[in-house]
Structure 1
Amino acid sequence: MELKDFVKETLLQIAQGVREAQDAVKEYDATVNPMQYQKTGDITNAKINNQFYPVQDIDFEVALTSSNEEGVKAGIGVLLGSLNLGTNKTE
């Protein structure tokens, strides 16, 4: 797989995940990735229904791994994710 295809697929899955999370959190009166922000000093607030709420940033660490063992095993795996690409051949 070419790098551009990997990047495209990764970004599509992130966008799909955000959309699914937006739908899932509605029952908790929460918002994922709100549209409007206001930053005052070190504080960031999101404007939702004409009210300002504090923003909680969430960071993810993602690692790309590759391994070689007996036989042929090549590809890319995303740790803590669901994307695996490549080939696997053992004899």
Structure 2
Amino acid sequence: MNETYQLPSATRSGKRKILRWAWVSCLCLFIIGMTILGLFAEKTTWIDANGRLHEPLFGLVPTSFFFLSVALLLAILDFALRFIKPR
């Protein structure tokens, strides 16, 4: 009894849409995260006369790490969905 179950075509096209959405989202989030990190790298830090450190855009560093981690999770989810076989 080696029967294989075939997904209906509507389900397969729905899965393709989800995978396409995951890749587009992953790419967009990765680009946003890298852009924020690039902006932070472009800005110079300086110490004023009072000894105070000034780092413009420092608050965006955790935001960029958040976007990059969500992009990584979406990529992992996409690879997992590609290799899961239906029962």
For normalisation by structure 2, the TM-score amounts to 0.32
Tell which has more relative contact order, 1 or 2 (C-alpha 8 A, sep 6+). 2
- Of Structure 1 and Structure 2, the greater strand share is in 1
Larger Rg: 2
For normalisation by structure 1, the TM-score amounts to 0.31
- Of Structure 1 and Structure 2, the greater helix share is in 2
